[in-house]
Structure 1
């Protein structure tokens, strides 16, 4: 029997939009319904002002999260790097402000939320800013070498970086939903100890898991990640299978 689909609200890393999850759709196991959420200032929302505060972002995302949950008994959330803190705070908002049960929160490629960020790159000049982003993100997208795209997208990336650098938990209270912290086993940017600090944010079960790859492991082989999520959400359904994206 096909398991009942659970919407997986997906939040991307800084500088990315919902389309980063497009390659996940053909790999998604039964029982998981991908629901990427789009922040203002990117892709089809480039005419909107990008946000610089996590609290603002959560307020902006909550209606879309509620719409994605409509008709379903529960939701799960996944976020990577900046998206991890957005997923965590959005889960808190769903628990506090709605009747929607949060089945699970997956925080990926991020130190625990009480870790804080000591670096400040958002207000550097363009070249220094992009060099700093490359250092703490572990990659440099080719789009930044194209002058037209660079001019168009830099304000959004600066806003995302400011949001992530300035983030502090919106409450000291833990969430009730189970939390799984995910990390690439070769991630040179987020250490295992810092990632495991997510265990302090929930009164539910906490799991720490490593998957093959570096900081951006989720782009290289999302199939294993999606199978892990499906097995969590539907533990009695057996191990789903799927091909890896290459």
Structure 2
């Protein structure tokens, strides 16, 4: 197991959705986790049960807007691992800063499909007309959600997806200081949106241990590889505990 807190509850794995996605994307991970973590996820406005709420258009504001609910869900002393893909990666990065300031013990940050937090995307989708916007997003991701082919569903999904792309493409970190928690960067080996060099930029975002892992697949490799991702999270966490155990006592 990855670890448990003193009351026997497993470490929390807090998952942060990518652009246009809701927390339900990670619900299958609860079973795949097989008790290794308590899998929970961030509920952002503008989707799923919060579909009628106005979506955020700024990553830093989004992190600040959800932090109270996250801390209430996690509990103030629950060891936590964060996972975020693409937009979720930079939002998770902001949440690490906020959770640490709140005293939540963050054990590790797992980022996926994302350049380092100080690198902005050159080609953008925000601001394009709806049809061009969806074509650009599909081009970026190498993936098209079947719901976008249904006009009524597209009308519901599009505002949040547009807001997510806007805040992702305009993202600037709230602070210049790197986090102190270990970071593991994941990437699909044929990702046409994020290069291997860009995915490795996360090494400069932490003063702790850094690791990098590639999976077969494109930008949305995680859709079919939840089990494999969880296995990697367990492996890097185990290596981190071994490394910590080998350090001399202060």
Matches within 5 A, 1:17-32: 17-32=22-37
Going from structure 1 to structure 2, the CA distance change for 1:36 and 1:204 (only over 3 Å counts) comes to: same
Contact 1:181–1:195, Cα closer than 8 Å, also in 2: yes
Displacement of 1:236 = 9.5
CA RMSD of aligned residues (A): 2.0
Going from structure 1 to structure 2, the CA distance change for 1:236 and 1:210 (only over 3 Å counts) comes to: closer
1:169 counterpart residue number: 173
Structure of greater relative contact order (alpha carbons < 8 Å, 6+ residues apart): 1
Going from structure 1 to structure 2, the CA distance change for 1:235 and 1:169 (only over 3 Å counts) comes to: same
- Work out the CA distance in 2 between the residues paired with 1:133 and 1:235: 36
Structure 1, 173-182 or 2-11: larger mean CA deviation: 2-11
Displacement of 1:237 = 9.7
- Work out the CA distance in 2 between the residues paired with 1:86 and 1:113: 10
Equivalent of 1:197, from 190, 198, 201? 201
Contact 1:111–1:190, Cα closer than 8 Å, also in 2: yes
Contact 1:3–1:234, Cα closer than 8 Å, also in 2: no
1:38 aligns with 2:43: yes
- After TM superposition, the score normalised by the length of structure 2 is 0.89
- Work out the CA distance in 2 between the residues paired with 1:82 and 1:133: 13
Going from structure 1 to structure 2, the CA distance change for 1:234 and 1:13 (only over 3 Å counts) comes to: same
Aligned residue pairs, count: 237
Runs of at least 5 residues in structure 1 that lack an aligned partner in the other structure: 239-246
Matches within 5 A, 1:1-246: 3-4=3-4, 5-70=10-75, 72-95=77-100, 97-235=101-239
Runs of at least 5 residues in structure 2 that lack an aligned partner in the other structure: 5-9, 243-250
Q: Name the SS for the 1:198 alignment partner.
A: helix
- After TM superposition, the score normalised by the length of structure 1 is 0.90
Q: Name the SS for the 1:210 alignment partner.
A: strand
- Work out the CA distance in 2 between the residues paired with 1:7 and 1:204: 20
